[in-house]
Amino acid sequence: GESVGLHLPTLSVQEGDNSIINCAYSNSASDYFIWYKQESGKGPQFIIDIRSNMDKRQGQRVTVLLNKTVKHLSLQIAATQPGDSAVYFCAESFTGNQFYFGTGTSLTVIP
C-alpha cells in the first residue's frame, strides 16, 4: 500500500490557539486528498478535501494546504475548541475509489 505518514503522533494546544497537523504522502500520482476527524468510539468523519490542482482550500475554521513539490499536506484549525479534540487522519487517493490512510495525529485541546 501507499505510505501516508504523519510527522507528529500527538499534539496539545491551548483552547483558542490555532492548530496545525501535518501529513506526508509518498505517491506523486495522488490527486485527491481528504482530512478525517475521528472522535473516541466513532468512525472517521470527513472534514475537508483538496484536489491536486489546488494548493489551498478553506472551510469553516479549517484550511488545508497542499505542497506537491515536497508531497506535504497540512490541516490548520483556527481558534481550536475542546470539541476539536480527536484523532485526525489524512488520506490520499490516486486511482479508483481507494484511499490510503496515515496513522493519525491525536489532538488534545487544553481548556
Partner 1 sequence: NAGVTQTPKFQVLKTGQSMTLQCAQDMNHEYMSWYRQDPGMGLRLIHYSVGAGITDQGEVPNGYNVSRSTTEDFPLRLLSAAPSQTSVYFCASNTKGRAYGYTFGSGTRLTVV
Q: List residues binding partner 1 (CB under 8 A).
A: 1, 4, 9, 32, 34, 36, 41-46, 49, 89, 91, 93, 96-99, 101-104
Q: With respect to partner 1, which residue has the nearer C-beta, 34 or 66?
A: 34
Query: Which of 95, 99, 96 has its CA nearest to residue 35?
Result: 99
List Cβ neighbours of 35 (8 Å cut-off, separation of 6 or more). 21, 47, 48, 49, 62, 64, 73, 75, 88, 89, 90, 91
Shortest distance (Å) from residue 12 CB to partner 1 = 19
- Nearer to partner 1 by C-beta: 102 or 107? 102
Q: Which residue has 475548541 as its cell numbers?
A: 81
Q: What's the closest the beta carbon of residue 44 comes to partner 1, in angstroms?
A: 5
In whole angstroms, the minimum distance from the beta carbon of 105 to partner 1 comes to: 11
| Shorter beta-carbon distance to partner 1: residue 103 or 108 | 103
Q: Is-contact 30 92, C-beta < 8 A?
A: yes
Q: 33 or 85, CB closer to partner 1?
A: 33
The nearest distance, CB 16 to partner 1, in angstroms, is 29
Residues facing residue 71 across a β-bridge: none
